[in-house]
């Protein structure tokens, strides 16, 4: 009976009830949109780093990363690459030679990281072939092709087919150099690749360095991010003499950024829920004051304070149960649409690229967030109903009946 009365009371004043429902819908939609927006930024930043630069897992000689000495190659690296490529968890694999060196044009010189790659394998790990702004991805027949970032090309004052010289140290610490021609220019979400990286064919790099078929790095791109931890454990057990690192270790700033974003999202969740609580308190308190005589009459004819209290609480819960699902459905539809079409932030592309973000943002939310929001709305409604319900049972029935 109490539930039936509460439900009828909700719709006796449709305007007031629709205001509460509307505030809940807008609050939930705003919460989901902001969560999706921030999560989209995080996913864009981390995925951009993984897909275009770091990959999920990297393998090196234990001493290689101390000084990036070209002498520390992976023992039987190409054989290890063949063995790893048969693992179903590995979607793509790329062996690389590496050296720090100088890149020089006729106008300028700059420090650079030089990667010797197998183009057909590398493009499935870093997907650089899809990020070309000019030229081709090692498809020309020219001798010693090289691919560099747009910003590095601007710095060196070079373009497609321009001649540049790469200089670095060989295994005996002697300076070696090779003349290359720019085959393509790329633009990624990684500032370090755009400004300080050059990609050449492994056969050209190894020939100039005199290191035969040695490699210094194996990059693994996984079929699923969930495979990272079990594969890491397996590789460390099977190859204890190698340095095996995940992207979390290679780029700890990404892990820090992820944890900071998660914390911020929970703070945002709390702020919007608190705002929603005050909105419910305000509206329900108005509802109680408007029904002062009515509540006094109910108490005068025998309805005890506990029933009056619960009636106000149930009314608020009903409002949240109507507004909550509507807000979640609208939020879900918004996230699905934006997940496909994205948000165009091209007007801010220069600033976004400087920090490693794409100019098209795709908001997204994990399914468990919708569950948390649903639970949060119910709890918020209950908390928001406590004070108005308390005020309702504090009234004096005799005075309430004589109130105009």
Between residues 223 and 3, the one the model is more confident about: 223
pLDDT at 237: 93
The stretch 295-300 carries a mean pLDDT of: 68
The mean pLDDT of the chain is 84
Residues in the chain: 404
The stretch 112-133 carries a mean pLDDT of: 92
Q: Which of 383, 376, 342 is nearest to 359 (CA)?
A: 342
Among positive and negative, which fits the CA dihedral 98, 99, 101, 106? Answer: negative
Residue 312: pLDDT band (50, 70, 90) is confident
Of all residues in the chain, what percent carry a pLDDT higher than 70? 88
pLDDT tens per residue across span 137-177: 998 778 899 999 999 999 999 999 999 999 999 888 899 99
pLDDT at 164: 95
In a 13 Å sphere around the CA of 351, the CA atoms on its Cβ side amount to 4
The stretch 277-289 carries a mean pLDDT of: 76
Determine the Cα–Cα distance for residues 302 and 400; give it in Å rounded to an integer: 15
pLDDT surpasses 60 at 352: no
pLDDT surpasses 80 at 224: yes
Residue 335: pLDDT band (50, 70, 90) is confident
pLDDT surpasses 70 at 402: no
pLDDT surpasses 60 at 124: yes
DSSP, res 89: T
pLDDT surpasses 70 at 355: no
Between residues 369 and 133, the one the model is more confident about: 133
Strand partners, 116: 97, 200
**Domain segments of the chain as ranges:** 2-50+255-401, 62-241
pLDDT at 159: 93
pLDDT at 353: 58
Determine the Cα–Cα distance for residues 82 and 78; give it in Å rounded to an integer: 6
CA distances from 81 to 29, 57, 76 (A): 48, 13, 9
The stretch 110-138 carries a mean pLDDT of: 92
């Amino acid at each position: 009976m109490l539930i039936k009365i509460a439900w009828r009371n909700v719709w006796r004043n449709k305007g007031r009830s629709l205001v509460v429902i509307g505030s809940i819908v807008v609050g939930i939609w705003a919460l989901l949109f902001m969560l999706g927006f921030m999560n989209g930024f995080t996913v864009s930043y981390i995925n951009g780093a993984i897909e275009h630069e770091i990959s999920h897992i990297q393998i090196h000689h234990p001493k290689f990363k101390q000084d990036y000495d070209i002498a520390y190659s992976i023992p039987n690296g190409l054989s290890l690459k063949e063995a790893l490529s048969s693992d179903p968890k590995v979607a793509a694999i790329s062996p690389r030679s590496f050296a720090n060196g100088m890149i020089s044009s006729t106008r300028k010189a700059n420090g650079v990281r030089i990667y010797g790659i197998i183009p057909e394998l590398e493009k499935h790990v870093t997907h650089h072939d899809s990020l070309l702004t000019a030229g081709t991805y090692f498809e020309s027949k020219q001798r010693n092709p090289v691919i560099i970032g747009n910003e590095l090309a601007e710095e060196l004052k070079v373009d497609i087919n321009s001649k540049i010289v790469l200089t670095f140290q060989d295994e005996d610490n002697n300076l070696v150099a090779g003349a290359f021609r720019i085959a393509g220019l790329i633009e990624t979400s990684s500032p370090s690749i755009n400004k300080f990286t050059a990609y050449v064919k492994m056969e050209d790099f190894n020939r100039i360095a005199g290191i035969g078929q040695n490699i210094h790095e194996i990059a693994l791109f996984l079929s699923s991010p969930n495979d990272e931890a079990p594969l890491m454990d397996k590789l460390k057990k099977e190859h204890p003499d190698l340095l095996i690192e995940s992207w979390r270790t290679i780029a700890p700033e990404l892990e820090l950024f992820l944890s900071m974003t998660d914390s911020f999202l929970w703070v945002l969740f709390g702020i919007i829920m608190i705002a929603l609580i005050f909105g419910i308190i305000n509206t329900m308190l108005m509802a109680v004051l408007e029904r002062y005589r009515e509540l006094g009459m109910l108490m005068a004819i025998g309805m005890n304070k506990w029933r009056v209290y619960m009636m106000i609480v149930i009314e608020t819960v009903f409002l949240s149960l109507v507004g909550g699902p509507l807000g979640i459905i609208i939020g879900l539809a918004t996230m699905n649409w934006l997940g496909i079409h994205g948000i165009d932030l091209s007007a801010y592309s220069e600033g976004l690229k400087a920090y490693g973000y794409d100019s098209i943002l795709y908001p997204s939310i994990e399914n468990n967030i919708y569950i948390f929001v649903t639970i949060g709305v119910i709890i918020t409604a209950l908390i928001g109903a406590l004070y108005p319900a308390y005020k309702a049972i504090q009234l004096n029935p005799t005075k309430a009946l004589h109130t105009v």
